Amino acid sequence: MKQLKTQVPAGAWDYLPEECAAKRKIENEIRDSFLKNGYNEIETPSFEYYEVFMHDSVPYVQENMMKFFDQKGRILALRPDLTGPIARAAATKLLARQEVLRLCYIQNAFGFFNRGIAGKTEFTQAGVELIGKRGADADAEVIALAIGTLRKIGLDGFKIELGQVAYFKGLIEGSGLDEEQTERIRLLVDTKNNVELEYELSRLNMEASKKKALLELGGLFGGREALAKAEALAKSEECRKAVENIREVFDILCGFGYEDYLSIDFGILNNFNYYSGIIFRGISDGIGMPILSGGRYDELLREFGTDAPATGFAMGVKELLVVLERQGKLPRAFGKTMVIRADRNMLRQAFAYAQELRGQGKQVILELNGSAYDPACFEVVDFNGRAK
């Protein structure tokens, strides 16, 4: 017989005390950073009606979501991210009271994702959503918050890569591509697969200048100089606006002193249907996959009945833990726990003493049986009746 009771399901994860303590410490620092920047925490249910995640502007596929039924046979889904539920709550409950919302969360999301480091069936995301504000200053605000937060938890050698989906949309607009062709080209640009992109484009009837621009898109990355290259490459109004938008965000962030943390890549086109403007992700030395991703999604809230622009990001907490450990910066949260060994005829005094120390913030175990403790992890004190 298979021994399932001794295992966790694929992609699920036990956070044992040491890792759990480090996780909580980092989460507390992240939460503190979000709150201090004016983002208030929100909690939504772990599951929602399936419809919250299944409409035109979501990046999920049906088979990746964990689903079950309610008593009436309607489909429920465990949330694959927090942005959908928060957009729902904002559109239906908050925007009537307040025009601009700054919300944050540290919550678990779920799904059958075959990617990521430690399995991905249940994973903690920490993120913010800035709803009701358009413009480069709003995007720069959340990106600055991401950088500030990563710095706060002690991460080194990371960069935020900025892209702009409107640039790609501007390039292919009016070239008569159908949805399927657009998707194929998007995927090839996103994976910097110029070999196949060239072949794909050779079969299409499209202006030569546009083809050239699409072929160069994957290589359009680097520092500020990428902006000028992008501008020279495409003249359409939408493309020009897209470049202008990144430049504005870039300039604001440089103004904050964050230039070293920035890079640009016009070829980032993941979750293309979700995002409507600037798009970004965090990368770091020591981990081969993004630690953070975000962008502007002005079309999502409309799905829930209130039209409002929005921007935000989510960090993968497990990814942060792994990269911090690889950089030797994982907080060691454990000090020695104090053990007070007392005799039963001194219960009152010993208990009062333990409570007093706990009140001072110490971690204290009151031991009445005289059990042995490992001195490597515990500081054992024999209580003799007088509080020291």
Partner 1 sequence: MELTIALAKGRLAKFAIELFSKCGIDTSQLREDTRKLVVYDKKNELRFVLVKPSDVPVYVYRGVADIGIAGKDTLLEEGLPLYEMLDLKCGKCKVCVAGYPEQKERITSNITRVATKYPRIAKMYYDEKGEGIEIIKLNGSIELAPILDLSDVIVDIVESGTTIRENGLTILEEVCDISARLVVNQVSLKTKAEKIQPLIEKMKIALEDM
Candidate list 289, 365, 368, 381; residue touching partner 1; CB under 8 A: 289
Residue 31: burial class (beta carbons within 10 Å; 0-12, 13-18, 19+): middle
Q: How far is CA 358 from CA 20, 21, 339, in A?
A: 21, 18, 12
193 binds partner 1 (CB under 8 A): yes
Contact 43, 105 (CB under 8 A): yes
194 vs 363, which CB is nearer to partner 1? 194
**Residue 194 within binding range of partner 1, rule CB under 8 A:** yes
- Fill in the per-residue mask, 205 to 224: x = in contact with partner 1 (CB under 8 A), - = not in contact: -------------x--xx--
Minimum CB distance to partner 1 smaller for 113 or for 373: 113
Out of 83, 284, 293, 311, the residue judged to bind partner 1 by CB under 8 A: 284
CA distance 60 to 57: 9
* Residue 265 found at the interface with partner 1 (CB under 8 A): yes
Q: Which three-class secondary structure state does DSSP give residue 30?
A: helix
DSSP state of 344: G
Among 117, 177, 204, 252, binds partner 1 (CB under 8 A): 117
Q: Residue 230 CB, nearest distance to partner 1 (Å)?
A: 17
Sole window of 31-39, 262-270, 336-344, 369-377 interacting with partner 1 (rule: CB under 8 A): 262-270
Nearer to partner 1, 112 or 351 (CB): 112
Of 333, 320, 336, 325, nearest to 381 by C-alpha is: 336
Sign of CA dihedral 254, 258, 260, 265: negative
Instruction: Note whether 182 binds partner 1 by CB under 8 A.
Output: no
Q: How far apart are CA 364 and CA 346, in angstroms?
A: 17
Draw the binding track, 147-166, toward partner 1 (x: CB under 8 A; -: no contact): ----------x-x-x-----
Query: Of 221-240, which residues contact partner 1 (CB under 8 A)?
Result: 221-222
Cβ within 8 Å of residue 64, ≥6 positions away: 80, 111, 112, 113
Buried b / exposed e across 169-184, counting CB within 10 Å, b at 16+? bbbbeebebeeebeee
Residue 115 binds partner 1, judged by CB under 8 A: yes
Residue matched to tokens 């430049």: 247
Nearest approach in angstroms of CB 106 to partner 1 is 24
Which residue lies nearer to partner 1 by CB, 5 or 115?
115
Closer Cβ to partner 1, 51 or 285, answer by number: 285
Q: Which is nearer to partner 1, 90 or 189 (CB)?
A: 189
196 binds partner 1 (CB under 8 A): yes
For partner 1, the binding residue among 80, 85, 290, 316 (CB under 8 A) is 290
The per-residue b/e assignment along 149-166, b for 16 or more CB within 10 angstroms, e otherwise, is bbeebebeebebbbbbbb
CB of 93 to partner 1, least distance (A): 36
Q: How far is the CB of 270 from partner 1 (least distance, A)?
A: 8
Q: Give bridge partners of residue 380 from the DSSP assignment.
A: 339
Comparing CB distances to partner 1, the nearer of 230 and 340 is: 230
Q: Is 195 in the site for partner 1 (CB under 8 A)?
A: yes
CB of 282 to partner 1, least distance (A): 10
Please state the closest distance from residue 310 (CB atom) to partner 1, in A.
25
Sequence-separated (6 or more) residues with CB below 8 Å from residue 289? 115, 116, 117, 319
Minimum distance between the CB of residue 39 and partner 1, rounded to whole angstroms? 27
Q: Round to whole Å and give the CA distance between 216 and 317.
A: 34
Summarize as ranges the residues that interact with partner 1 (CB under 8 A): 115, 117, 157, 159, 161, 191-196, 218, 221-222, 263, 265, 270, 283-285, 287-290
